[in-house]
Amino acid sequence: MTQRRVKIALVDDHTLFRTGLRGLLSMREDFDVVADMGSGEEFLAALPALDVDVVFMDISMPGIDGCETTRRALRLNDRLRIITLSMYGDEQYYSQMMESGASGFVLKDSDIEEVYASVDAVSEGDSYVCEALMRTLTRNMSVTPIDATSDEDALSDREIEILVEVCRGLSNQEIADKLFISKRTVDKHRANILEKTGCKNTANLVVYAIKNRLVEI
């Protein structure tokens, strides 16, 4: 059986960076870089005729920035999986990109294996946050939930409390010690959180929590 190739587009205003990333991605036989573009406007104009699965999207670009480009792109094709390309100086945009619908977050100086991992994850329907950015997000994350979901599968107050601590990087035992409950109770709550949210790991939970405004950064 022929392996399905993941079709990738690059959107970044720095030609040299796009060229380098394209070359690195092309080293994977199951990746096919089908387009690279220097602006959000160019990408949006081409998108209706473009067969693409995963998009690497720069946050800071002249004209339409990555946040607005992501929102418009997903209105045109809601099956797209968008990976944010960012520098540390773009921290103020992370939550905006998550709320815009981005599925992955990779720093521009990430190891190539993390770039590969981000494509593998989002193409399978998961979220991905590179390790360095995860540390930044959890360090800066508010300890107090600022909102809550209202659907029938909404998290309980205790589940939200535990989710916040998970997002801040605490282990189940550390959460149990902090909240004066047993680790077994935390294990059960965490399992319920994963089931209700459809998340598979901590990276997924961080993205879920920020997108749903359960925490802020």
Domains of the chain: 6-131 (3.40.50.2300), 141-211 (1.10.10.10)
Predicted local confidence at residue 1, as pLDDT: 46
| Cβ contact 124:116 at 8 Å | no
Does the pLDDT of residue 138 top 50, yes or no?
yes
pLDDT digits (tens, 9 = 90+) for 40-63: 999 999 999 999 999 999 998 989
As a whole number of angstroms, the distance between CA 164 and CA 208 comes to: 11
Predicted local confidence at residue 151, as pLDDT: 47
Mean pLDDT on 109-117 = 91
Please name the helix (run of DSSP H) or strand (run of DSSP E) that holds residue 49, with its range, or none: none
Does the pLDDT of residue 28 top 50, yes or no?
yes
User: For the chain, percent helix, then strand, then coil, each to nearest 5?
Assistant: 50, 15, 35
Predicted local confidence at residue 37, as pLDDT: 95
Predicted local confidence at residue 155, as pLDDT: 85
Predicted local confidence at residue 3, as pLDDT: 66
Would you place residue 142 in the very low, low, confident or very high pLDDT band (cuts 50, 70, 90)?
low
Please name the helix (run of DSSP H) or strand (run of DSSP E) that holds residue 58, with its range, or none: strand 54-58
Would you place residue 165 in the very low, low, confident or very high pLDDT band (cuts 50, 70, 90)?
confident
Which two three-digit tokens encode residue 16?
A: 């040299």
Does the pLDDT of residue 125 top 60, yes or no?
yes
Collapse the DSSP code of 209 into the 3-class scheme (helix H, G, I; strand E, B; otherwise coil) and give the result: helix
Quote the pTM value: 0.75
